[in-house]
Structure 1
Amino acid sequence: MGMWASLDAMWEMSAEKRIFGAVLLFSWTVYLWETFLSRRQLYFNVMPFIKGLRRIYKTTTHVPLELGQIMDSETFEKSRLYQLDKSTFSFWSGLYSEIEGTESLISGDSLGGSVAMLALDQNMSSIPFLISVITQSLVFLLLATLFSALTGLPWSLYNTFVIEEKHGFNQQTLGFFMKDAIKKFIVLVTIYADYIAPLFDKFTPLPEGKLKQEIEVMAKSIDFPLTKVYVV
């Protein structure tokens, strides 16, 4: 009865809440499925009788027969320890990203967007050049992107200067790393959307119809200079 009561309660929710719940469920399902597949791939390809990815890395201290002809013990041991560290890092960083994404759905905005909105709310709209809605939107996006970059920075630093450094793969200095991160951020907020993203995703103009008309009406209501609308 409890399960059916819960299902009845779900169907009595508004369409918006049902869609929200479905999106949240889908997001976590994809995350858990991809995590399972990443574990399963190694599980079946390397040691099919040992359960668990980390258990494989921890307990498989000798070169498997399948790899004996192409890899010596020293290389295998280095690879094993490296993959053990990378699997741990990948799990925690992936979990953090999924939790952050869930927070974005629950709050209706990204954490960075919330911080940006808070900053704009602190009487910043009284500044002359921030009176325009478009300018406020640009500042909002800039602050949100900056916050997202800063929250991801510790993960990148740990991966580069702890894991990669530990296993002898890091060739970067801290100064070079920071300059490279700044360059990436500048590219992201300037030319990425117009010139780089189309190289990897297909952008097609939104066809004429009710949706496009409503978007145009909304843009006009806030004096936004809308020119083209694309579907990715």
Structure 2
Amino acid sequence: MTKIKIKPKLGIEDEIQIDTPVQRYIIISCFRGGSSEDIGTGFIDAANTLRKKLEKELDSYKANINIEIYNIDSITTLVGIINKGNIKQLDIFSHGGTEHLVIGSGEGIGKRELLYASDLSKFNKDSFLKDAIITFWGCKTASNPSRFRKFIGKKCIAEEFANYFKKCKVVGFTGGAIQASSPTSKPDINFIHKQGDDVWFVTWGTVKIFYED
């Protein structure tokens, strides 16, 4: 709800209320850990690190935004979260590959579930606000498929999201993802993340952005 004060010519100040949609900033951790399967707490700690950053940056707008963080275990849960709509930003911490996201952790519903382009029809295309940003923090979500896969029409999962959710910027890594102390750190295989500490994910590849008007 946004309040606007209006001063008519008589100098009497009135206050009116205008309903404005609450913008949703959604952070998803598909595993607790950022290593093999569900070992460690890298992904959930990275999700909380981003949450704290957003809370600080968006504090002055908090009346009109919701920052939501989820640790999920199935595509069905992800669909339910996204289809509520009004999303301004979506960040997903998960394992990934050229043509998929790894959603299931191997412990819950559906066990190890992979999300492919064919699953996108389950999502409401209008769930995202114009110029929303979707970021995948997992490995190779923006890497090129093999020559044969491209020949038969396959695209990387980041590009598939951009094609499906029009007017959204979709960000992914062309290379593998690795834990780091800050989003601008260079990849360092000797970096050690301690449970509960702030942590980010960076790539030894490049960061690639897709957008479909």
With normalisation by structure 1, the TM-score equals 0.24
Larger radius of gyration: 1
Q: Which has the higher contact order (CA 8 A, sep 6+)?
A: 2
Q: Which has the higher helix share?
A: 1
